[in-house]
Structure 1
Amino acid sequence: MTQDKLFSLIQYPLPHHLISRLSGLVADSRAAWFKDPFIKWFIRRYGVDMSQAQEPDPTAYNCFNDFFTRALRDDARPIGDGMVSPADGFLSQFGDVEHGTLIQAKGQRYSVTSLLGGDTRRANPFRQGSFATVYLSPKDYHRVHMPVTGTLREMTYVPGRLFSVNLATADQVPRLFARNERLVCIFDTEFGPLAMVLVGAMIVAAIETVWAGQITPRSKHIQTTRFDKPITLAKGAEMGRFKLGSTVILCFGQNVDFRNDLGIDDSPVSMGQTLGDLSR
């Protein structure tokens, strides 16, 4: 049995939500004797580049969560042309949605319907479109931004497990992204519909959006909020953030002309980096 397989099996019986909520309490601690050494250790352990942060002093943050969701300098992430990456991280998969299914990893697929909360009405516009999956590692900038300009139509909280999300578990846990707790945000854009899915994971204490604040945890039931008053966010504008890291999945209602030089699994991307082009 491989180490990755053993790691994934160990997670099944764990109390995912309890572990994550306790981690959230620790990450919110404002005790300087705890949070300052912890933040400095985290920077050393994961090689975090603090020179790009608006506040480079690790001790200036009120708690670990404030450090983890830190803002960057205004010039740190220029916004490219076309459709851009919503976050820093690794482009783990991308391509066409084939017969309503997305690639999770080699030999692993899951349906767009299950990803978007089991509603066929919500999923149908994306069944023949394109997708991109960006995994945020611990060292990355953890705010999520718009890949194109969009107007928010609805937001759906989907309860679920909180398996650890990384390249190894994506290989080992079937339907990982459709099983974990997640937030599905549907936008209307000049290129058609866009779904942005923020996937929770082990020790992710919460997901936040700029229009509703902290979202998770909310309920054990799927909850959908529809927006009658327009909430329009420009390309490159912040739309949400993770309190500890996870994954963002983009689904488009049409095919994306992805750049030819993009790779998968080990291909680092930066927020604002051009991933491809969309046609009207």
Structure 2
Amino acid sequence: MTIRGLLSALTQQEDLNFLLTNRIPRAALTRFMGWFSKIENPVVRDASIACWRMFSDLDLTEARKTEFSSLHDCFTRELKPGLRPPDPDPQAVVSPSDAIIGAHGAIEDTELFQIKGAGYSLLDLLGDPKLVDAHRNGRFVTLRLTSSMYHRFHAPADCRIEQVTFISGDTWNVNPIALKRIERLFCKNERAVIQSRLSSGEALTLVPVAAILVASIRLHFLNIVLNAQTTGPTVFPCDVSLRKGDELGYFEHGSTIIVLAPDHFEFCDNVREGARILAGQRLLRKPG
């Protein structure tokens, strides 16, 4: 096959992927999947997990349980104790989740990007001018969770959570194919803005972004599920102290977490676009 033919085939595959995962009734399918995944029937559960294995690299050897009551129970599985110890360096901010590292770098004033050449603004993402100022010219990392990954996420550092803001929105797929086609995608999807401060007083913000088949984010410290059915308040004041590695909550399927850190933090050597990272591994480090 010629290079032109190969490029044409890849483009057709991307077009098909985009159509199948986006040009459908996204909200209705997401609600259906939320209901279907919780069915506690052995036949439904086993058939669903078997189908999932056919189309992904699902590995359940690290799971704490060996039997699951439903597909949802498998999605939100815990791991065996001790498998994701956080890096002990007190200056390090660690990855809150297992993920593939996506776009990352310096925020240019208040502009960042979902892929090269496709920018979006902190204000569109966060919706809070005061928080935008706290992250002006800071650092950002995009972490993409695939469907087969461990879906729980953890505190990336010793911190105090001050507020959670839930922003309702769409449920576009967040894979690289959609990121190339949908402008400002992260600013359009449902998301939770988790505002925290490090022990030094510096702002550290996590933005879990929901997606098609997901659109449900469980936060343990609020004892609430955030999704399309969430009714006010959309701002939840908090005063929760957490240690690095403490579990914050989980997605009900794969999605994305955007980490926003202070401007003087440096990326660790393992942070490369396309690289896999595990929860607890070093992500950024405060010099000195």
**Structures share fold, TM-score greater than 0.5:** yes
Q: 236, 242, 252: which one pairs with 1:225?
A: 236
| Alignment-mate amino acid for residue 63 of structure 2 | A
Report the Cα distance in structure 1 between the residues aligned to 2:182 and 2:146, rounded to whole angstroms.
Answer: 18
Which structure 2 residues correspond to residues 1-280 of structure 1 after superposition, within 5 A? 2-3=11-12, 4-5=14-15, 7-8=17-18, 14-55=24-65, 57=66, 60-80=67-87, 81=89, 82-116=92-126, 118-191=127-200, 192-212=202-222, 213-219=224-230, 223-227=234-238, 230-264=239-273, 266-279=274-287
Distance 1:75 1:220, change over 3 A: closer
Shift of 1:170: 1.4
Residues 253-262 or 196-205, more deviating: 253-262
CA distance in 2, matches of 1:175, 1:216: 20
| Counterparts of 2:172 and 2:139, CA distance in 1 | 25
Mapped to 2, the partners of 1:158 and 1:279 lie a distance apart of: 33
Shift of 1:112: 0.9
Q: CA deviation at 1:231?
A: 0.8
1:40 alignment partner, SS class: helix
CA contact 2:190–2:215 (8 Å) conserved in 1: no
AA at the equivalent of 1:67: C
Cα distance in 1 for residues equivalent to 2:53 and 2:16: 28
Q: Over alpha carbons, which structure has the higher Rg?
A: 2
The whole-number CA distance in structure 1 between the counterparts of 2:267 and 2:183 is: 26
Q: Which moved more, 1:42-51 or 1:169-178?
A: 42-51
Shift of residue 14, structure 1, vs aligned partner: 3.4
Say if 1:119 and 1:276 are closer, same or farther in 2 by CA, change over 3 A: closer
Q: Decide whether aligned partners of structure 1 residues 40 and 7 sit closer, same or farther in structure 2, where only a CA change above 3 A counts.
A: closer
Q: CA deviation at 1:174?
A: 0.6
Tell me if the contact between 1:91 and 1:269 (Cα under 8 Å) persists in the aligned partners: yes
Q: Which runs of 5+ in 1 are unaligned?
A: none
Relative distance call for 1:71 and 1:12 in structure 2 (3 A) is closer
Contact map agreement 1:257 1:277 (CA 8 A) in 2? yes
CA contact (8 A) 1:8 1:173 kept: no
Cα distance in structure 2, aligned partners of 1:21 and 1:75: 34
TM-score by length of 1: 0.90
Deviations 1:91-119 (A, max 9, x none): 01111111101121021011111111x22
Contact 2:98 2:277 in 1 (8 A): yes
Q: CA distance change for structure 1 residues 220 and 15 in 2, over 3 Å: closer, same or farther?
A: farther
Give the partner amino acid of 1:179: K
Counterpart of 2:170 in structure 1: which amino acid? R
| Distance of 2:97 and 2:161 partners within structure 1 | 19
- Cα deviation for residue 9 of structure 1 reads 6.1
Partner AA of 2:234 in structure 1: Q
Shift of 1:220: 7.8
Q: Retained in 2: the 8 A contact 1:96–1:255?
A: no
CA RMSD of aligned residues (A): 2.1
Q: What's the counterpart of residue 3 of structure 2? A: none
Contact 1:106–1:171 under 8 Å retained in 2 = no
For residues 111 and 153 of structure 2, the distance between their equivalents in structure 1, rounded to whole angstroms, comes to 24
Scaled by the length of structure 2, the TM-score of the pair is: 0.88
Q: Percent identity over the alignment? A: 28
Matched pairs, number:
273
The DSSP-based 3-state class of the residue aligned with 1:248 is strand
